[in-house]
Structure 1
Amino acid sequence: MSLSVREPNDGYQYATILATLVAPLSRGNITLTSTDTQDLPIINIPALQSPTDQQVAVASYKRVRQACASSFMQKIIIGDEYYPGASVQTDAQILEAIKGTLQAVWHASSTCKMGLSADSMAVVDSHARVYGVKGVRVVDASAFPFLPPGHPRSTIYALAEKIPDLIKNGQ
């Protein structure tokens, strides 16, 4: 069932309160399908694969429900919870509801992990130089080994400020 089918159309205005995992532990991958740049890669995004991510998501969902049950919120909330509804109570039910409405928050990162040369998953060194390729650096969120907590913009800015200094200093 698409979300648009569940959207109310009764003339009232509605709001959604949501929780976001800003530093998920679940990891995906990108696999090239050929050497042809016109061929699309396979992108695997295993959202909520990590048990810790699942626990945090369920706990966050419960916390949002607690906030909505507060005396302040009850003054402005009209009616019962629309989706998934009050009958969804167990952790397993809540997790399934979350999985059914999950969406990305547009902070793709960590596809060219910065790390030590001994790390088989590392693509760039601490100076953002691509291992095995001379003259190429990665200076964006893809170089993060993991997504930093909160919005990544300031961390991207810090990396973008640091790497040119290293280049100017011959590093």
Structure 2
Amino acid sequence: MVLLARKAIGALWSSVFMTPVRAALDVADHHGQRAQPPVTGAGIAIQAFGLRAKLRQVDRWIGQAPCRVVEVHPEVSFARLAGTPLTARNNTWAGAQLRHRLLATAGIALDSDLGDTGRQAGVDDVLDAAVCAWTARRVANGQARPLPNPPQVFSDGLPCAIWSRPTTRPAA
């Protein structure tokens, strides 16, 4: 799944990293995790380790979620929306402007005044949230496809895939 997502994203693939196995989430610090390869078979990215509290929270929530839960990666969705991997990072002016245009072309109009949220959230975070919502709508309407297709199923029985819209048009 990660390799497929990296391929879809192209040069900006560094934003996709392996999700750690559950046992790796119980190690107290990143150094300790790296010192215990039997837990994971290899070390985990510092980004993934930093997300462990949120990963645990989602893991608990999925078991009782009142709805379908899917994984979305914003850069995969933007690449699919553009019809090609993007070359400007989301935290640059050019990257933010391109993503804003792609969303507008898809019918997602972002208000210029988001109130308190607009004063606190990063531009890249707002754009990422918008494309994730757009992809979620596509999943609900049956218009999105998983990477891989069909999704992988892990030992917990849950399907695992990154959902996005199929590539259908050239870059904006």
TM-score normalised per structure 1? 0.22
Larger strand proportion, structure 1 or 2?
2
Higher relative contact order (CA 8 A, sep 6+): 2
TM-score (norm 2): 0.22
Bigger helix share: 2
Greater Cα radius of gyration, structure 1 or 2: 1
